[in-house]
């Protein structure tokens, strides 16, 4: 699915910059734009073309909004047309959807995104998804993580999500707390966590990104599958992603057992393939999610299984689909495969939409 990614505010801009740096050459990333009131943040976005980094509003004096969401909302109303024109500089006719990336606890992203979505909904019929990054609970404690201290983050998150409901096509959430452990501080782990987030997003939207050298999928995942899975009612969505290394001809070549990859796919033991597929599906479904759910249930689910073509056992994928239907209780479960001869692992993606969040989205921030 070809997406046009727009980062708004510091957190969103940094994530889109990581996305452009890692996947800028892939066709699923149709464009990357960064908007912020903080000139210092924009100057550090080395993977985004300078013409696509845009500072707006002189009111902030080139600095951020210090968590003042009401100021961000006012700037959204004032600058929405200007920001929309910047997005329109790209090849939007090729985009199959828009992805607005924001830190839910911030002021710039949370303030500007709702008004920008309203305008995009007037200008295009394509879906407008939000990738909303939840603040870490340590950000509310100046003693635990003073470098990331944002006392308004929790309140901003609740208000921003309320504003997005009914506007965004769907809201994919990423909970920073989920990827911190053992007293880790978000400020020192931010780059690692952003890489994890980008890997999950690229796995979903890049699943159908193929070229002439890629083996043909039995069930191609296209934009319509992703759209149907995410829905159109501002549902909250979460992503699970898992991999498992397997033996391939390519892996053998790297260890000196052959210079060129054989044109004939290596034989794979059926039982090994079945175990590998079953394992990654269960890990993707029950392992760490971008946002944890109360019971694993979802209104809609998308399963994508990929890796070396010879390892994509059809029976195992079908069995995994049956198991996942029971696991999620979804009335609609879509699936597809993504053969990739360049990989030496099999992977599974489980996208759930219409979930009940387990974290403080509903119950207030958890204590550190």
Closest Cα to residue 177, out of 241, 104, 70, 226? 104
Question: Region 56-80: what's the mean pLDDT?
Answer: 82
φ, ψ (nearest 5 deg) of residue 339 = -65, 135
Q: Strands (DSSP E) along the chain, which ranges?
A: 3-8, 29-36, 53-55, 97-103, 128-134, 170-175, 235-245, 300-307, 332-339, 345-353
Q: How confident is the model at residue 254, as a pLDDT? A: 47
Question: Is beta strand 345-353 parallel, antiparallel or unpaired with respect to 235-245?
Answer: antiparallel
For 294-350, the pLDDT digits (tens) are 899 999 999 999 999 999 999 999 999 999 999 999 988 999 999 998 899 999 999
Please give the annotated binding residues for GTP, written as ranges: 107-109, 139, 176, 194
- The structure's pTM equals 0.90
Domain 3-206: give its CATH code: 3.40.50.1440
Closest Cα to residue 342, out of 281, 251, 270? 251
- Distance separating alpha carbons of residues 195 and 192, to the nearest angstrom: 5
Q: How confident is the model at residue 362, as a pLDDT? A: 54
Work out the pLDDT band at 266, boundaries 50, 70, 90: low
Residue 263 has, within 13 A of its CA and on its CB side, a CA count of: 0
Residue with tokens 């960064």: 34
Q: Which residue has the higher pLDDT, 261 or 241?
A: 241
Domain 236-353: give its CATH code: 3.30.1330.20
For 166-201, the pLDDT digits (tens) are 999 999 999 999 999 877 888 889 999 999 999 999
Q: How confident is the model at residue 162, as a pLDDT? A: 94
For 123-154, the pLDDT digits (tens) are 999 999 999 999 988 765 555 556 556 678 88
Question: Region 275-300: what's the mean pLDDT?
Answer: 95
Work out the pLDDT band at 249, boundaries 50, 70, 90: low
Q: How confident is the model at residue 264, as a pLDDT? A: 59
Alpha-carbon distances, residue 208 vs 86, 178, 223, 351 (angstroms): 28, 28, 8, 15
CATH 3.40.50.1440 region(s) of the chain? 3-206
Q: Which residue has the higher pLDDT, 248 or 180?
A: 180
**Is 346 in a helix, a strand, or coil?**
strand
Please give the annotated binding residues, written as ranges: 107-109, 139, 176, 194
CATH 3.30.1330.20 region(s) of the chain? 236-353
Q: How confident is the model at residue 252, as a pLDDT? A: 47
Work out the pLDDT band at 367, boundaries 50, 70, 90: very low
- Say if residue 91's pLDDT is above 80: no
């Amino acid at each position: 699915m070809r997406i046009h990614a727009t980062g708004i505010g510091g957190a969103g801009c940094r994530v889109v910059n990581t996305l452009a740096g890692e996947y800028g050459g892939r066709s699923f990333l149709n464009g990357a734009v960064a908007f912020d009131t903080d000139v210092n943040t924009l100057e550090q976005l080395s993977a985004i073309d300078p013409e696509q980094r845009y500072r707006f509003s002189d009111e902030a004096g080139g600095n951020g909004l210090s968590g003042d969401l009401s100021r961000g909302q006012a700037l959204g109303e004032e600058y929405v047309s200007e920001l929309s024109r910047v997005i329109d500089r790209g090849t939007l006719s090729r985009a199959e959807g828009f992805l607005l990336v924001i830190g839910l606890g911030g002021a710039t992203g949370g303030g500007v995104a709702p008004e920008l979505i309203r305008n995009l909904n007037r200008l295009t019929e394509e879906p407008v998804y939000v990738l909303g990054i939840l603040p870490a609970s340590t950000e509310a404690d100046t003693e635990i993580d003073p470098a990331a201290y944002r006392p308004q983050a929790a309140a901003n998150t609740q208000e921003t999500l309320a504003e997005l409901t009914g506007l965004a096509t769907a809201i994919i959430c990423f909970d920073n707390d989920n990827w911190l452990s053992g007293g880790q501080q978000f400020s020192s782990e931010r780059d690692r966590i952003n890489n994890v987030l980008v890997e999950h997003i690229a796995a979903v939207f890049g699943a159908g990104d193929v070229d002439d050298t890629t083996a043909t999928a039995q069930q191609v995942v296209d934009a319509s599958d992703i759209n149907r899975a995410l829905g159109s009612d501002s549902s909250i969505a979460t992503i699970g992603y898992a991999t498992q290394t397997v033996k391939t001809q390519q892996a053998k070549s790297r260890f000196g057992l052959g210079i060129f990859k054989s044109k004939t796919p290596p034989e794979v033991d059926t039982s090994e393939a079945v175990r590998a597929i079953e394992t990654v599906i269960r890990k993707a479904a029950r392992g760490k999610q971008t946002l944890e759910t109360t019971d694993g249930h979802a209104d809609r689910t998308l399963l994508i299984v990929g890796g070396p073509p010879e390892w994509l056992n059809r029976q195992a994928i079908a069995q995994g689909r049956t198991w996942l239907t029971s696991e999620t209780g979804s009335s609609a479960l879509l699936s597809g495969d993504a053969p990739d001869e360049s990989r030496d692992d099999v992977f599974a993606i489980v996208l759930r939409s219409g979930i009940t969040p387990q974290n403080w989205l509903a119950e207030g921030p958890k204590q550190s």
